[in-house]
């Protein structure tokens, strides 16, 4: 695996939100166009279900550059999560090549993929996937434990990440003491704590109400802008997709449309227009948190 991925890690990046972008901190990239962070070349994915073959992806080719904010849309079953799993090094394509920072990772073995994931990719899911009965801070520390970071550094970085999502005062809260939006923000901090170059979010606002969804998108937009973090978000909601600068639409395992977003929405501005819930509601996880599936025990 290309060592550029590992060299993208900068301890100080988390503690300084306006730190120089990763792009400027990294050596030039090796892809064909010299710029692509991700390049998929005629990717196919076929799942074998007994005697039946399910063609989830049917020849997907695309490039995503560092610093892009991409929304993936399309009907249920069109292959969105399958593609995210491949981009996130959770799964291999059946056919085709996947270049991440110029290196072909299509054939990297499981251990190698795990290494790339730990160092370079942060994941956010619809259902938050926090560990129950484990504090917000400890949840965020988990990826650092896997990465072998000593305890002192772990705590400092986890606190910085929690501060970055606006939850510095909730470090001892358990997931079931947090609203859905707060749980998703903890999950976001956990995705960020390893200072990845890429964030993959599969329907991150699917369980959240309107205001909380915009709050999550505001964090994504801020990280994308301030750190040049590349963000890929799967969503069924056109409103959410318009916080991205590019929308890719899937259908039947193929890309149907790929276009730039005109009049991109600014989540910070939208938030200012939206009514804020009362503190009481936030305390008991009322309207802002009542829709979540989450990790309630």
Ligand X SMILES: Nc1ncnc2c1ncn2[C@@H]1O[C@H](COP(=O)(O)OP(=O)(O)OP(=O)(O)O)[C@@H](O)[C@H]1O
- Which residues would be at the binding site for Mg ion (CB under 5 A)? 81
79 binds, among ligand X, Mg ion, none (CB under 5 to 8 A by kind): ligand X
CB of residue 251 to ligand X, shortest distance in Å? 10
Q: What is the dihedral of CA 147, 150, 156, 159, to 10 degrees?
A: 50
Which token pair is 196? Answer: 């990845």
The span from the CA of 58 to the CA of 50, in Å, is 20
CB of residue 248 to ligand X, shortest distance in Å? 12
82 binds, among Mg ion, ligand X, none (CB under 5 to 8 A by kind): ligand X
Among 24, 76, 260, 263, binds ligand X (CB under 6 A): 76
Q: Which stretch binds ligand X (CB under 6 A): 70-78, 99-107, 216-224, 238-246?
A: 70-78
CB of residue 46 to ligand X, shortest distance in Å? 9
Residues 6+ apart with CB under 8 A from 91: 45, 82, 85
Which is closer to Mg ion, CB of 84 or CB of 161?
Answer: 84
CB of residue 83 to ligand X, shortest distance in Å? 7
DSSP string spanning 238-263? HHHHTTSSEEEEEETTEEEEEEEPTT
* 47 sits near ligand X (criterion: CB under 6 A): yes
| Burial grade of 226 (CB within 10 A; 0-12, 13-18, 19 or more) | middle
Among 54, 131, 274, 293, binds ligand X (CB under 6 A): 54
294 binds, among Mg ion, ligand X, none (CB under 5 to 8 A by kind): none
Distance of CA 293 to the CA centre of its chain: 19
Which is closer to ligand X, CB of 1 or CB of 240?
Answer: 240
CB of residue 116 to Mg ion, shortest distance in Å? 22
Among 78, 228, 235, 249, binds ligand X (CB under 6 A): 78
* 77 sits near ligand X (criterion: CB under 6 A): yes
Q: Which residue has the tokens 């499981």?
A: 110
* 81 sits near ligand X (criterion: CB under 6 A): yes
Question: In 3-state terms, what secondary structure has residue 285?
Answer: coil
Which is closer to ligand X, CB of 6 or CB of 54?
Answer: 54
CB of residue 81 to Mg ion, shortest distance in Å? 3
Q: Give start and end residues of each alpha helix (H) in the chain.
A: 3-7, 11-15, 22-25, 80-87, 110-120, 136-146, 151-164, 180-192, 210-227, 238-241, 267-273, 279-284
* 49 sits near ligand X (criterion: CB under 6 A): yes
CB 199 within 8 A of CB 192: yes
Which token pair is 246? Answer: 């590019």
CB of residue 128 to ligand X, shortest distance in Å? 16
| Residues at the site binding ligand X, with contacts judged by CB under 6 A | 47, 49, 54, 56, 74, 76-82
């Amino acid at each position: 695996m290309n060592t550029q991925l590992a060299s993208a890690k900068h301890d100080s990046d988390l503690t300084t939100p306006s730190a120089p972008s990763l792009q400027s901190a990294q050596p030039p990239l090796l892809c064909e166009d010299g710029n692509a962070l991700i390049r998929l070349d005629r990717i196919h994915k076929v799942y074998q279900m007994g005697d039946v073959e399910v063609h989830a992806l049917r020849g997907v080719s695309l490039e995503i550059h560092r610093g892009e904010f991409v929304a993936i849309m399309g009907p249920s079953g069109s292959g969105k999560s399958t593609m995210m799993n491949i981009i996130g090094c959770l799964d291999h394509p059946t056919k085709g090549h996947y270049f991440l920072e110029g290196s072909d990772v299509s054939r990297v073995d499981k251990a190698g993929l795990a290494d790339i994931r730990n160092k370079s990719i942060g994941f956010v899911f619809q259902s938050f996937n926090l560990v129950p009965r484990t504090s917000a801070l400890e949840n965020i520390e988990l990826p650092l434990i896997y990465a072998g970071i000593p305890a002192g550094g772990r705590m400092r970085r986890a606190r910085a990440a929690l501060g970055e999502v606006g939850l510095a005062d909730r470090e001892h809260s358990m997931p079931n003491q947090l609203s859905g939006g707060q749980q998703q923000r903890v999950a976001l901090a956990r995705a960020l704590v390893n200072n990845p170059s890429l964030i993959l979010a599969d329907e991150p606002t699917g369980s959240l109400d309107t205001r909380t969804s915009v709050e999550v998108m505001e964090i994504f937009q801020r990280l994308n802008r301030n750190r040049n973090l590349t963000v890929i978000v799967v969503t069924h909601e056109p409103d959410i997709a318009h916080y991205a600068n590019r929308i890719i639409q899937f259908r039947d395992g193929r890309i149907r449309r790929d276009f730039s977003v005109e009049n991109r929405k600014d989540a910070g501005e939208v938030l200012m227009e939206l009514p804020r819930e009362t503190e009481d509601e936030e305390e008991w996880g009322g309207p802002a948190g009542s829709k979540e599936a989450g990790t309630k025990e």
